[in-house]
């Protein structure tokens, strides 16, 4: 194995930092990972950047050991590298690269006034998690650091900058910082001008375009690993400087790449800590919707995105509770066995969960106009509360809000997808997440053998595309002809009873939304 012909993708996800190394044929050959969690500090979800760097180094060290164990040789060089991370949020630096405020993540719902005002100003939906909403909210809050901003970026852009010295961002991630213009391949200059006029009275020493990163499309070069970057990534000093980097992306973009869902009328669903559907549009939406993001693929194709802040976290909480009960009886429990066992048990539950409704809201959910989340379980007095029904309700609850957003797109804009592909932890147990989602959406759901590799594999594919593409070869054609033409996948179709059962569940779920909102008063 010539490791110098491999491609490396690293993704800083919500609960795990993962690296995937692929060979010349795009097959994953080694991986490394590091677990981390966000912190709730003064009511704001944050990740300390020192943890990001620590986790990056630990993840790479795990990958390096995996490579040496498999191939008996050190990893001194790869053909190219790509960095991705959880989407958007607020990360600002001064002229010396010093962090000016805590990295405020996508999970926060603290920018409602700013997002609403910018949506009206731009006549374009600005979700609360977008970088521009966070920036304007900091201005409205009169936070002292704003005047010192020299760079507004995202987590993937920040790590990319540490490793390459370049302030660059990929199109997909850029389109979630603020509105993107596909014709120019850059941020929308008209809306930049509107923003500058809006904040002109504050007399900041910067203009918006000066603090935003340079936008790059998939396939473009985005810098090389510096000596300092190599030393930061590989503590052993084995990794060589000079390795080229592709543009850094967000996890939404890498999810589309990892499923090949980058063509119009294709869609992907990422379901892990959060959940989002990405449907590549044939035509622009007729109007903007506060519930729907309009973003882009890494190649610049327009995408309608329905996003939920929480997906599997509450499932994890209940499975850990069940594990605690087993341990209380003096028995050992292997979570790697318990998870698939309980997921499979969910398929034995009644299709409407016997009237058990599960809210997984760890945070607010804009799709249901819920400002603050409270995980909650509601059931009818005559519900059959057993493990099968409980687990099925938890799986339904994880994707119920996403279903509400996708229904709105279909109803209002007739957005359709010929195929939907799933990836993320929700699909890790074969056949279960697929069946639940197929019944919920009433469409076939496909997953690929590589679905478990997810975003970091998608990022590695973007690194490979940058170096291996033919002149004029689009990302769409590259993925279709050179990556997914021989990919193995499985497809699960909805069942009549399953679709009917989920519909009944969702009707009760919507009826309980007022109770969820009332629970937000609990402190």
- Asked whether residue 451 carries a pLDDT value surpassing 60, the answer given is no
In whole angstroms, give the CA distance from residue 317 to residue 192: 42
Pick from 20, 1, 94: which is nearest to 457 by CA? 20
CB 17 within 8 A of CB 38: no
Say what the pLDDT of residue 505 is: 98
Q: Is 236 helix (H, G, I), strand (E, B) or coil?
A: coil
310: tokens are 């929480």
| CA–centroid distance for 70 within its chain | 30
Of 215-229, 336-350, 372-386, 422-436, the one with minimum mean pLDDT is: 422-436
Residue 151 has pLDDT above 60, yes or no: yes
Residue 450: pLDDT band (50, 70, 90) is low
Instruction: Say what the pLDDT of residue 109 is.
Output: 81
Cα separation, 390 vs 379, whole angstroms: 10
Is a pLDDT exceeding 70 seen at residue 433?
A: yes
Write the CA distances from 453 to 272, 330, 478, 491, integer angstroms: 12, 35, 19, 18
What is the mean predicted confidence (pLDDT) over 307-326?
A: 94
Residues with Cβ within 8 Å of 179's Cβ and at least 6 positions away in sequence, in order, are 122, 124, 126, 187, 188, 191, 294
CA 471, distance to chain mean position in Å, is 30
With b meaning 16 or more CB within 10 Å and e meaning fewer, what string describes 299-336?
A: bbbbbbbbbbbbbbbbbbebbeebbeeeeeeeeebeee
**Digit-coded pLDDT (tens) for 121-148:** 999 999 998 999 999 999 999 999 999 9
Q: Could you tell me the domains of the chain? A: 88-153+178-211 (3.30.420.40)
- Which residue in 175, 106, 182, 419 sits closest to 279, CA to CA? 419
**Predicted local distance difference test score (pLDDT) of residue 452:** 58
pLDDT of 443: 87
Kindly indicate the confidence band of residue 326, based on its pLDDT and cuts at 50, 70 and 90. Answer: very high
Residue 302 to residue 268: CA distance in whole angstroms: 14
Element (H, E) at 150: none
**Per-residue pLDDT, 358:** 97
* pLDDT, tens only, 37-65: 888 888 888 899 999 999 999 999 999 99
Q: What pLDDT score does 201 carry?
A: 96
Rg of the chain taking only CA atoms, in angstroms: 22
435 torsion bin: left (phi>0), alpha (psi -120 to 50), beta (else):
alpha
Looking at the chain, how many residues does it have? Answer: 523
Average pLDDT over residues 354-378: 92
Residue with structure tokens 């989602």?
A: 437
- pLDDT attached to residue 87: 85
Cα–Cα distances in angstroms (integers) from residue 104 to residues 92, 144, 159, 284, in the given order: 10, 16, 15, 30
Q: What is the mean pLDDT of the chain?
A: 93
Helix (H) or strand (E) segment spanning residue 364: none
Position 229 pLDDT exceeds 70: yes
Is residue 388 within 8 Å of 345, Cβ to Cβ?
Answer: yes
> Percentages helix, strand, coil for the chain, rounded to the nearest 5?
45, 20, 35
What is the pLDDT at residue 42?
A: 86
pLDDT digits (tens, 9 = 90+) for 395-421: 999 999 999 999 999 899 988 887 788
Q: Is 511 a residue whose pLDDT tops 60?
A: yes
Q: By percentage, how much of the chain surpasses pLDDT 70?
A: 99
How many angstroms separate the CA atoms of 272 and 87, rounded? 14
Residues 64-88: tens digit of each pLDDT? 999 999 999 999 999 999 999 998 8
Predicted pLDDT at 436:
97
pLDDT for 107 beyond 80? no
Whole-number pLDDT of residue 453:
67
- State yes or no: pLDDT of 333 exceeds 70: yes
CA distances from residue 472 to 23, 219, 496 in whole angstroms, order as listed: 23, 10, 45
């Amino acid at each position: 194995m010539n490791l110098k012909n491999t491609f490396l993708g690293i993704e800083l996800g919500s609960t795990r930092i993962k690296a995937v190394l692929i060979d010349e044929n795009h097959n994953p050959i080694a991986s490394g990972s590091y677990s981390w969690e966000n912190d709730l500090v003064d009511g704001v979800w944050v990740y300390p950047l020192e943890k990001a760097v620590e986790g990056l180094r630990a993840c790479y060290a795990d990958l390096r050991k995996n490579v040496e164990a498999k191939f008996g040789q050190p990893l001194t060089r790869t053909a190219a590298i790509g960095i991705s991370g959880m989407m958007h949020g607020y990360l600002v630096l001064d002229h010396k690269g010093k962090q000016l405020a805590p990295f405020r993540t996508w999970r926060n719902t603290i920018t409602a006034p700013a997002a609403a005002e910018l949506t009206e100003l731009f006549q374009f939906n600005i979700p609360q998690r977008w970088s521009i909403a966070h920036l304007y909210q900091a201005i409205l809050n009169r936070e002292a650091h704003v005047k010192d901003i020299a760079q507004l970026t995202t987590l993937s852009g920040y790590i990319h900058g540490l490793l390459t010295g370049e302030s660059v961002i990929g199109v997909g991630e850029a389109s979630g910082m603020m509105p993107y213009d596909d014709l120019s391949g850059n941020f929308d200059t008209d809306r930049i001008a509107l923003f500058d006029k809006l904040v002109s009275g504050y007399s900041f020493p910067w203009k918006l375009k000066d603090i935003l990163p340079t936008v790059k499309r998939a396939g473009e070069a985005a810098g090389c690993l510096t000596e300092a970057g190599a030393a930061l990534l590989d503590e052993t000093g084995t990794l060589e400087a000079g390795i080229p980097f592709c543009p850094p992306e967000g996890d939404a973009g890498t999810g589309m790449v990892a499923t090949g869902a980058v063509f119009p009328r294709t869609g992907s669903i990422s379901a892990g800590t959060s959940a989002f559907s990405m449907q590549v549009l044939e035509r622009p939406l007729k109007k903007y919707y506060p519930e729907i993001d309009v973003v882009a693929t890494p190649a610049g194709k327009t995408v309608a995105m329905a996003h939920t802040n929480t997906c599997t976290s509450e499932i994890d909480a209940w499975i850990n509770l069940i594990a605690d009960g087993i341990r209380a009886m003096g028995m050992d429990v292997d979570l790697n066995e318990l998870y698939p066992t309980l997921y499979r048990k969910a398929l034995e539950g009644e299709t409407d969960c016997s009237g058990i409704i599960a809210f997984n809201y760890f945070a607010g959910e804009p799709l249901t106009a819920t400002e603050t989340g409270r995980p909650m379980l509601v059931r009818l007095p005559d519900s059959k509360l057993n493990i099968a029904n409980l687990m099925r309700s938890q799986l339904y609850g994880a994707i119920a809000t996403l279903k509400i957003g996708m229904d709105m797109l279909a109803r209002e804009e007739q957005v359709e997808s010929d195929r939907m592909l799933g990836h993320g932890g929700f699909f890790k147990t074969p056949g279960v997440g697929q069946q639940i989602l197929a019944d919920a959406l009433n469409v076939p759901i496909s997953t690929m053998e590589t679905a478990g590799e997810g975003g970091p594999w998608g990022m590695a594919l973007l690194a490979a595309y940058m170096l291996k593409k033919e002149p004029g070869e689009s990302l769409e054609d590259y993925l279709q002809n050179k990556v997914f033409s021989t990919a193995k996948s499985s497809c699960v179709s909805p069942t009549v009873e399953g679709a009917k059962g989920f519909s009944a569940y969702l009707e009760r779920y919507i009826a309980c939304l007022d109770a969820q909102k009332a629970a937000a008063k609990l402190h």
